């Protein structure tokens, strides 16, 4: 099976501004930032989207959120706040079929989202 875009980033086959990685996840700056701080955190396991996650992925999903909070803190967003976004499917605008969580911060974010 061919690698996803984010697997290629994790494998250093495509350049990216990696800011964190461990045995479960990797985090790198979004190439088209929608906020002063816009980072993607992705599990190493290429689960296509949250709707395709199964019970066997419980630990991976937990790591994704726990590490998202840790990365947000590392980026200085703990006190100001930040938004975590997971797009699932066409109506949400999902473009890369490798589960990822957007970490957005550094400005006041609007609600509801567009
Ligand atoms: P989504 O729409 O939730 O699937 O988000 C995909 C995100 O990946 C978008 O915000 C893109 O800007 C971002 N993206 C696409 N290609 C790259 C890349 N090579 N490096 C970093 N971010 C990327």
pLDDT in tens, 29-88: 999 999 999 999 999 999 999 999 999 999 999 999 999 999 999 999 999 999 999 999
Which residue has the least CA distance to atom 20 on ligand 1? 31
Which residues line ligand 1 at a C-beta cut-off of 6 Å?
5, 14, 16, 28, 30-32, 40, 87, 93-96
State yes or no: pLDDT of 107 exceeds 80: yes
Mention every residue, 6+ apart, whose C-beta is less than 8 A from residue 99: 42, 43, 46, 47, 48, 49, 50, 52, 53, 64, 86
Please give the positions annotated as active site.
Answer: 100
State yes or no: pLDDT of 114 exceeds 90: no
What is the pLDDT at residue 54? 98
CA 68 to ligand 1 centroid distance, Å: 16
Question: Rounded to an integer, what distance in angstroms lies between the CA atom of residue 64 and that of residue 61?
Answer: 5
Domain ranges of the chain: 5-105
Q: What is the CA radius of gyration of the chain?
A: 14
State yes or no: pLDDT of 26 exceeds 80: yes
- CATH architecture classification, 5-105: 2-Layer Sandwich (3.30)
User: Is the pTM here over 0.85, yes or no?
Assistant: yes
CA 88 to ligand 1 centroid distance, Å: 13
Which ligand 1 atom sits nearest the alpha carbon of residue 100? 3
Which ligand 1 atom sits nearest the alpha carbon of residue 34? 10
CA 104 to ligand 1 centroid distance, Å: 13
Which ligand 1 atom sits nearest the alpha carbon of residue 97? 4
């Amino acid at each position: 099976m061919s690698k996803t875009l984010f697997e290629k980033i994790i494998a250093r086959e495509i350049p990216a501004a990696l800011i964190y990685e461990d045995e479960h996840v990797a985090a790198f700056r979004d190439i088209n930032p929608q906020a002063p701080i816009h980072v993607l955190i992705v599990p190493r396991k290429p689960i296509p989207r949250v709707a395709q996650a199964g019970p066997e992925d419980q630990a991976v999903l937990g790591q994704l959120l726990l590490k998202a909070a840790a990365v947000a803190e590392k980026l200085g967003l703990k006190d100001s706040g930040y938004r975590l976004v997971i797009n699932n499917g066409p109506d949400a605008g999902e473009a890369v079929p490798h589960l990822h969580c957007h970490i957005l911060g550094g400005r006041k974010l609007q609600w509801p989202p567009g």
